[in-house]
A and B are shown apart, each in its own frame.
Chain A
């Protein structure tokens, strides 16, 4: 237990520093409601690039006509509308750049769909509230909007054109830099940068974990996964935890309870995720999986708990 106490300190002190930093710098200035129709620059995003044809609009019923079955990925994130257009270079008509601007249910939803595409190793474009760019694509989110830019045509427009276009679109979405506040709760020391993902259905593949955040982390050199499940309220969070416990019992997996002065944490060998630790904190369930030693994972939970309690 002495070792765990030391681990607690290791994680708690930097966690508090992180927390103070994030809550002092991460001021959210809510932008005014904006329609998706106003986000794509017309007639072009610069003198060199002009829209080819009209902007097309899609809604939840016909989104599949634009992106086929992948539409189902967007609907659980509160997808409301998509406007899409194609820019052609005046200098070279073979250079084309396709723009998709999605209006999602909330900023967290926009982040969620962005996080399904973002590769942690991709270069940041520093546009909007989060972004990445590569040779053929740029994606970013801002407020409730998720924006995809893709190379189209036989000649690649290049990253400069993507960035110029993305900046022009971002200008049409008012507001200053902010990130969903929920991301702070998982921003503990040891978390692997840019691995946060918001899942709006069946977190970790379990339907009873309705929605929440996951991220990769490192615990004493071992890769693990950390997560926060969102309940509607304390009772709902308790019910979700009971569902998970029921699942383990059905699978005849042994469950242990680890009591501290304030909390009870359940640890088990999850059928899918091996070493697993989970704890209820108010309306949230926090946890870690893929743990070689679930007891050592408790320090990760402590760090997340501090961030939630001090929010």
Chain B
């Protein structure tokens, strides 16, 4: 494991210089060669990628790796690879396969420097399906092997043991088309992690899991246990939804959120989704940074700021309201206005309610007795709705 824990900082200029390097080198443009040389010299002084070992695969992966799912162009991805980011996560299902095509373009001339992780379709359970998925992925990615092939979106521990899927993956490895096996999970994550950790055959080597500063302790414990057992942990959803909030002014919580995940050394790497160069700059600069007390304060504020948006639509509060108003829909309307800054959407959502379901009916009660299990102040929210949507 090669780690650099210096507090690296990178400014925009230096970062952009670095971006020139790869393109100039790849294109062989004489006119840019001097810029490229200067940029290479500058970049070495500002960014030192940090690598950790991806469990028992032994792969050394950059702790900030590339979540490609939302990236519409290959060029920013190429800049990331030239920066030393060496792990990219995509899936057969993203953009109907076009995402793999974009990754494939970015890999051109760089395949030996980047580890590629992709996923079978979530519905694929038969050998035939999995073979077809992998063959299609290889074609779209323009490569002859996939480093990590993951069964997509496992929701129960049982699916870890599907014999047909295992046979297919084993056969594909014998053919040299895939190197390591992994799973991805979004729900019942702790159960799925436990299943692959306790699997005596040690079939799966990698797990892609949602993990952030708002994660339940059970997830952290399951990750620790899995990592100790040699499972390579890749973290996704590191931003806890990535909600925009004005509560922190110009301070971005995203670096702090990413640092929070990476300070857990049981995590080999995180794959923040990067749509553009500025996101790449923000995320890649985290490599080598430590989580500071200031970051913790930022995250605390961030958690506070986004907590009003975390109405889970569980509707458990609604039976406690004597007027049976649609509290969750009203909260959603408020969130559109305040969280997303989209008043039009907020208004139209609120207007879909019948009068008897709206916050107007609250005036029939002297005191609000509706209760939220997550601690939302319902009376205050309904008052806000009446103000916003009067």
Q: Using CB atoms and an 8 Å cutoff, list the residues of chain A in contact with chain B.
A: 59-62, 64, 68-70, 72-73, 78, 80, 105, 116-119, 137, 139, 152, 154, 197, 199, 201-202, 204-207, 247, 250-253, 269, 271-274
Interface band, chain B: 35 or more
The 7 A-B residue pairs with the shortest CB-CB distance in the complex, in nearest-first order = A202-B276, A205-B76, A117-B96, A272-B75, A207-B278, A251-B16, A271-B20
The listed residue (A78, A154, A197, A207) touching B276 by CB distance below 8 A is: A207
Instruction: Flag if A69 contacts B98 (CB, 8 Å).
Output: no
Q: Is B336's beta carbon under 8 Å from chain A?
A: yes
Other A-B pairs beyond A61-B335, A273-B75, 10, CB < 8 Å: A70-B94, A73-B70, A105-B345, A199-B72, A201-B275, A206-B277, A206-B278, A251-B19, A252-B17, A253-B35
Most chain B CB atoms below 10 A, which of A62, A117, A152: A117
Instruction: Flag if A60 contacts B340 (CB, 8 Å).
Output: yes
- Knowing A116-B98, A202-B275, A205-B277, say if A69 contacts B237 (CB, 8 Å): yes
Question: What residues on A are CB-neighbors of B76 within 8 Å?
Answer: 205, 272
Question: What residues on A are CB-neighbors of B27 within 8 Å?
Answer: 274
Complex Cα gap A2–B115 (Å): 50
Residues in B266-286 with C-beta less than 8 Å from chain A: 273, 275-279
Question: What residues on B are CB-neighbors of A247 within 8 Å?
Answer: 16
Q: Is B191's beta carbon under 8 Å from chain A?
A: no
- Knowing A73-B70, A205-B73, say if A269 contacts B31 (CB, 8 Å): yes
Instruction: Flag if B16 contacts A70 (CB, 8 Å).
Output: no
- A-B pairs with beta carbons under 8 Å apart, 14 shown: A59-B332, A60-B340, A70-B69, A73-B70, A80-B345, A205-B72, A206-B276, A207-B277, A250-B12, A250-B16, A251-B19, A253-B35, A272-B75, A274-B27
Instruction: Flag if B17 contacts A73 (CB, 8 Å).
Output: no
Question: What residues on B are CB-neighbors of A69 within 8 Å?
Answer: 67, 69, 236-237, 273
Complex Cα gap A269–B71 (Å): 23
If over half of B's interface residues share one DSSP class (helix, strand or loop), that class is named, otherwise mixed; here it is helix
Q: Is B247's beta carbon under 8 Å from chain A?
A: no
Instruction: Flag if B275 contacts A68 (CB, 8 Å).
Output: no
Instruction: Flag if B13 contacts A197 (CB, 8 Å).
Output: no
Q: Is B313's beta carbon under 8 Å from chain A?
A: yes
Q: Is B93's beta carbon under 8 Å from chain A?
A: yes
Instruction: Flag if B98 contacts A119 (CB, 8 Å).
Output: yes
Question: What residues on B are CB-neighbors of A205 within 8 Å?
Answer: 71-73, 75-76, 275-277
Complex Cα gap A250–B35 (Å): 12
The listed residue (B17, B79, B126) touching A272 by CB distance below 8 A is: B79
Complex Cα gap A237–B124 (Å): 46
Instruction: Flag if B72 contacts A116 (CB, 8 Å).
Output: yes
Question: What residues on A are CB-neighbors of B111 within 8 Å?
Answer: none
Residues in B212-268 with C-beta less than 8 Å from chain A: 236-237, 242
Select from chain B the residue with minimum beta-carbon distance to A151: B123
Complex Cα gap A78–B313 (Å): 20
Most chain A CB atoms below 10 A, which of B20, B73, B123: B73
Instruction: Flag if A117 contacts B95 (CB, 8 Å).
Output: yes
- Knowing A61-B335, A119-B98, A269-B31, say if A70 contacts B313 (CB, 8 Å): no
Instruction: Flag if A73 contacts B69 (CB, 8 Å).
Output: yes
Question: What residues on A are CB-neighbors of B17 within 8 Å?
Answer: 251-252
Tell me, rounded to whole Å, the shortest Cβ–Cβ distance linking B235 to chain A.
Answer: 12
Question: What residues on A are CB-neighbors of B123 within 8 Å?
Answer: 152
- Knowing A60-B340, A70-B93, say if A272 contacts B276 (CB, 8 Å): no
Question: What residues on B are CB-neighbors of A199 within 8 Å?
Answer: 72
Question: What residues on A are CB-neighbors of B236 within 8 Å?
Answer: 69
Tell me, rounded to whole Å, the shortest Cβ–Cβ distance linking B205 to chain A.
Answer: 22
The listed residue (B35, B97, B313) touching A252 by CB distance below 8 A is: B35
Tell me, rounded to whole Å, the shortest Cβ–Cβ distance linking B265 to chain A.
Answer: 24
Question: What residues on A are CB-neighbors of B127 within 8 Å?
Answer: none
Tell me, rounded to whole Å, the shortest Cβ–Cβ distance linking B261 to chain A.
Answer: 15
Instruction: Flag if B19 contacts A271 (CB, 8 Å).
Output: yes
Q: Is B32's beta carbon under 8 Å from chain A?
A: yes
Select from chain B the residue with minimum beta-carbon distance to A116: B95
Q: Is B23's beta carbon under 8 Å from chain A?
A: yes
Q: Is B177's beta carbon under 8 Å from chain A?
A: no
Select from chain A the residue with minimum beta-carbon distance to B31: A269
Tell me, rounded to whole Å, the shortest Cβ–Cβ distance linking A235 to chain B.
Answer: 21
The listed residue (A72, A137, A269) touching B32 by CB distance below 8 A is: A269
Q: Is B29's beta carbon under 8 Å from chain A?
A: yes
Instruction: Flag if B13 contacts A201 (CB, 8 Å).
Output: no
Question: What residues on A are CB-neighbors of B73 within 8 Å?
Answer: 204-205
Select from chain B the residue with minimum beta-carbon distance to A154: B126
Question: What residues on B are CB-neighbors of A201 within 8 Å?
Answer: 275-276
**Interface 1/0 per residue, B89-111 and A, CB below 8 Å:** 00001111110000000000000
